[in-house]
Amino acid sequence: MASLVLRLLTVTIFLSAPAALAATLAAAVTPVVKSTTSYGVLSNPGLTRDSCSSSLWNNNVLWVCRDTEQLNSAGNPVLPLVVNTASYSSMPNAPSNPQPLSLTSPQGFGSPFYPLESDECPTSGACSDGTRWVGWPDTGPVVTFRGSGGNTNAYAFISRNHLSGLSQINTPSYSLYHLLSQSSGPMPSVSLAVSSFWSSSQIGYGSAASVVMNGYAYLYGATPDGKLALARAAQTGFLGALDDKSLYEYYVNGAWTRTAPSRTASNIALPNTSSAQGTIYWSPKWNSYVWIGGDGFPNANFFISTAPNPEGPWTAATRFYTGTVGNGSLGAYSTVAHPSLTDGTGNYVFITWTRTNKNSAGVEVYDQPLVRVDWQ
Ligand SMILES: *[C@@H]1O[C@H](CO)[C@@H](O)[C@H](O)[C@H]1NC(C)=O
Ligand SMILES: *[C@@H]1O[C@H](CO)[C@@H](O)[C@H](O)[C@H]1NC(C)=O
């Protein structure tokens, strides 16, 4: 009997050790940069586009970018403007031989990767009254299933932004898109799964950042006061489906609840988080969740924060890198990380930002520097 109790105790201790270890180790994480390596700018042959984010997609990396135009032979952008496009890339070279990473041309240029909805002035988003709907992704799709033979299942939460000039004239709701690859090679098929999955009075969970861990998809959205709020969806549906609200829980007042809060609830913002554009991932090196992001336009300042759990506690963010800004009107923005470009160790991470530069004709074109950051 005594030995059975002892065995049970041992088993219990063994099973709970990783979580306890994570909490202990993560509290002590102090990321320190060992070296940085410039990989030039992302290569988008024949295109100018901004704000590319990425997700690991079986043997490829899937990139989804915002506004995209083709370049003519003089290197000047030509209309039409497509609100989002997608590409694949391979993994970057080793830092001993850094080369620009090539994003292969988008899914047939012309229609958006995430289609605009019928009330969003499709297909360009430009309405006859001069306003514009944009489907600008802030983060890569949430991959919930990777199978053999290239099968990949994923979701994206896209805000329904209505603009007049660059000013937003609505409080957006957020639609859920479904991405599916049945084989490696062709671009995934994309369809609107649920229009306004999150209403305009709710947080756009999953639109700011996500991480799939421990049997859950953890989905972050911006709060009105510029922090992050968190929901999680149990990965128990078919291929980790995210379209079933009964699988969702919401982090409110320090506990998980089944009732979605209002976006203006005072007790949903996670302390020390920021909704400035960024990326969240799990680092095996630090046994810790990691946020990497910026402090917003027009800077290319990169900050890092860590937490033992997706809900926190998050450390105060510290600056670890400052990139060069462009000489056009948009100095720098969309400071994101690409944990998709990984060997799985967490020993390094790639970051990008977007800027505009004036070309030789004085016309502004986007570019996106790619930098590898190795940690001590
Ligand atoms: C947030 O950051 C402050 C430092 O600015 C720190 O004292 C505090 O412990 C952090 N909060 C959490 C929950 O880690
Ligand atoms: C702006 O930056 C681009 C890219 O570095 C460079 O080719 C161009 O000459 C610069 N233009 C001006 C006016 O500084």
Cα-to-centroid distance, 225 and ligand 1 (Å): 17
Can you give the pLDDT at residue 28? Answer: 60
- Name the CA dihedral angle for 191, 101, 65, 33, rounded to a multiple of 10 degrees: 110
pLDDT over 90 at 47, yes or no = yes
Can you give the pLDDT at residue 346? Answer: 96
pLDDT over 70 at 2, yes or no = no
Tokens of 270: 């996670």
> For ligand 1, what atom is nearest to the CA of residue 314?
14
Can you give the pLDDT at residue 315? Answer: 96
Can you give the pLDDT at residue 185? Answer: 83
Kindly identify the ligand whose nearest atom is closest to the C-alpha of 272: 1
Are 63 and 54 within 8 A, CB to CB?
Answer: yes
| Start-to-end C-alpha separation, the chain | 48
Cα-to-centroid distance, 163 and ligand 2 (Å): 30
* pLDDT bucket at 70, cuts 50 / 70 / 90: very high
* Backbone φ/ψ region at 298: left (φ over 0), alpha (ψ -120 to 50), beta: alpha
- For ligand 2, atom 3, which residue shows the shortest CA distance? 357
Are 168 and 147 within 8 A, CB to CB?
Answer: no
- For ligand 2, atom 13, which residue shows the shortest CA distance? 358
Residue 105: how many CB atoms within 10 A of its CB? 15
The whole-number average pLDDT for the span 334-346 is 96
- Please tell me the distance from the alpha carbon of residue 315 to that of residue 286, in angstroms, as a whole number: 14
Can you give the pLDDT at residue 148? Answer: 86
- Name the CA dihedral angle for 351, 352, 353, 359, rounded to a multiple of 10 degrees: 150
The whole-number average pLDDT for the span 312-318 is 97
Cα-to-centroid distance, 351 and ligand 1 (Å): 25
Ligand 1 touching residue 318 (CB < 6 A)? no
- For ligand 2, atom 2, which residue shows the shortest CA distance? 357
- For ligand 1, atom 1, which residue shows the shortest CA distance? 316
Tokens of 297: 């336009």
**Burial label, 1 (beta-carbon count in 10 A; 0-12, 13-18, 19+):** exposed
Q: What is the pLDDT of residues 187-201, one digit of tens each?
A: 999 999 999 999 999
- Please tell me the distance from the alpha carbon of residue 273 to that of residue 32, in angstroms, as a whole number: 20
pLDDT over 90 at 94, yes or no = yes
The whole-number average pLDDT for the span 260-269 is 98
Dihedrals phi, psi of 87, to nearest 5 degrees: -145, 165
> For ligand 1, what atom is nearest to the CA of residue 316?
2
- Please tell me the distance from the alpha carbon of residue 235 to that of residue 282, in angstroms, as a whole number: 17
Token look-up 């799985």 returns: 344
Can you give the pLDDT at residue 59? Answer: 83
Tokens of 244: 């079933």
| Range of lowest pLDDT (8-17, 102-111, 210-219) | 8-17
> For ligand 1, what atom is nearest to the CA of residue 315?
14
Mean pLDDT of the chain: 92
Cα-to-centroid distance, 202 and ligand 1 (Å): 27
Q: Which residues share a beta bridge with 49? A: 68
* pLDDT bucket at 27, cuts 50 / 70 / 90: low
Token look-up 């990497």 returns: 292
Ligand 1 touching residue 254 (CB < 6 A)? no
pLDDT over 80 at 292, yes or no = yes
Residue 9: how many CB atoms within 10 A of its CB? 10
- pTM > 0.75: yes or no: yes
Cα-to-centroid distance, 180 and ligand 1 (Å): 40
> For ligand 2, what atom is nearest to the CA of residue 327?
1
Angle at 340 between CA 339 and CA 344, to 5 degrees: 75
Q: What is the pLDDT of residues 133-169, one digit of tens each?
A: 999 999 999 999 999 888 999 999 999 999 999 899 9
| Top mutation candidate among 230, 272, 291 for ligand 1, by most atoms within 8 Å of CB | 272
Ordered structural domains, the chain, with CATH: 4-375 (2.115.10)
Cα-to-centroid distance, 337 and ligand 2 (Å): 25
pLDDT over 60 at 24, yes or no = no
**Burial label, 289 (beta-carbon count in 10 A; 0-12, 13-18, 19+):** buried
The whole-number average pLDDT for the span 32-44 is 98
> For ligand 2, what atom is nearest to the CA of residue 367?
4
pLDDT over 90 at 12, yes or no = no
- Please tell me the distance from the alpha carbon of residue 21 to that of residue 62, in angstroms, as a whole number: 33
Instruction: Give the residue from 311, 309, 301 showing the smallest Cα distance to 351.
Output: 301
Q: Which helix (H) or strand (E) holds 346?
A: none
Q: Which residues share a beta bridge with 37? A: 372
Amino acid in position 37: T
Q: What is the pLDDT of residues 354-364, one digit of tens each?
A: 999 999 999 99
Instruction: Give the residue from 330, 338, 273 showing the smallest Cα distance to 303.
Output: 273
Residue 251: how many CB atoms within 10 A of its CB? 23
Can you give the pLDDT at residue 7? Answer: 33
The whole-number average pLDDT for the span 190-217 is 98
- For ligand 2, atom 5, which residue shows the shortest CA distance? 357
Ligand 1 touching residue 2 (CB < 6 A)? no
CA-to-CA dists, residue 373 to 281, 314, 341, 367, angstroms: 15, 21, 12, 19
Ligand 2 touching residue 327 (CB < 6 A)? yes
- Please tell me the distance from the alpha carbon of residue 205 to that of residue 158, in angstroms, as a whole number: 10
Cα-to-centroid distance, 28 and ligand 2 (Å): 43
Cα-to-centroid distance, 116 and ligand 2 (Å): 34
Can you give the pLDDT at residue 29? Answer: 86
Q: Which residues share a beta bridge with 222? A: 228
Q: What is the pLDDT of residues 320-338, one digit of tens each?
A: 999 999 999 999 999 999 9
Ligand 1 touching residue 315 (CB < 6 A)? yes
Token look-up 């510029």 returns: 226
